[in-house]
Amino acid sequence: MGADLFYFISSLPTLGLDGQCPMTAMQFLQQCRELLGDDISDRLENIRLVPDNTAPVDDTVAQWYSFETYLRNTLSELRRSRLKLPPQETGRQSKEQFYSYRKQIEEAMALTSTVARENKLDAMRFAYLGELESAHYFNLPLLELYLLKLLIIDKRSGRKLPEGRATFDRMLEAGFAQAGEKRIGDEL
């Protein structure tokens, strides 16, 4: 199995957030099943971008979940602060504190464009996965990290500005229509 893993990983294309991705996460998982077998594929299929505490994971995925939890908790804290709401205890706690990312998260939240903000947050996620990759060579955790990067790329490719703008416009029109409807007590 070691040789199969080595050759499979060495054949994978390099991933970047700005370029065209040669495959989706689903295609990657399908290749893993065909070339590496069910054990590895079943393990990879349990990995999610959003922390999932229901399935057991190894240390590498646990580190990712801890980072993502910290990121989400910090985003929640910053949003509450901006809205002048009192701090709220979150349901999930990060095992580690990633203070070196705090400033970057604050900078992302300061951006006025939602797309730019999400792109900056995804770039942080991608960079953190790159940091984790540096400790792994041709092993299963490297495949797990590769899958997480593909999931981020898939999420980004699903964002389509014209469709998003059209959805926003429909929501805005529905809001105006609802606001214009006669309500109980309006006749007074």
Report field, pTM of the whole predicted structure over 0.75? yes
User: What pLDDT is stored for residue 188 in this prediction?
Assistant: 53
The pLDDT value given to residue 56: 74
Q: Is the pLDDT of residue 32 over 90?
A: yes
Gyration radius of the chain's alpha carbons:
21
Of how many residues is the chain composed? 188
Look at phi and psi of residue 185 and say left if phi exceeds 0, alpha if psi is from -120 to 50, else beta. Answer: left
**Per-residue confidence (pLDDT) for residue 43, from 0 to 100:** 93
| Phi, psi (deg, nearest 5) at residue 45 | -70, -15
Residue 88 near residue 113, CB atoms below 8 Å: no
**54 versus 154: which is more confidently predicted?**
154
**Mean pLDDT to the nearest integer, 88-102:** 80
Q: What is the amino acid identity at position 52?
A: D
Count Cα atoms within 13 angstroms, Cβ side, for 69. Answer: 18
Residue 134 to residue 139: CA distance in whole angstroms: 12
Higher pLDDT, 151 or 82: 151
User: In this model, does residue 57 exceed pLDDT 70?
Assistant: yes
Q: What value does the mean pLDDT take over residues 49-55?
A: 84
Q: What is the pLDDT of residue 54?
A: 79
| pLDDT given for residue 143 in this prediction | 96
Cβ(49)–Cβ(158) below 8 Å = no
Mean pLDDT computed over 26-38: 95
Query: How much is the mean pLDDT over the chain?
Result: 87
Task: Please give the biggest Cα pair distance in the chain.
Answer: 80
At residue 96, the pLDDT reads 82
Residues 63-78 have a mean pLDDT of 93
In this prediction, residues 138-143 reach a mean pLDDT of 93
The mean pLDDT value for 114-121 works out to: 94
User: Which runs of E-coded beta strand occur in 48-166?
Assistant: none
> Taking 90 as the threshold, does the pLDDT of residue 130 lie above it?
yes
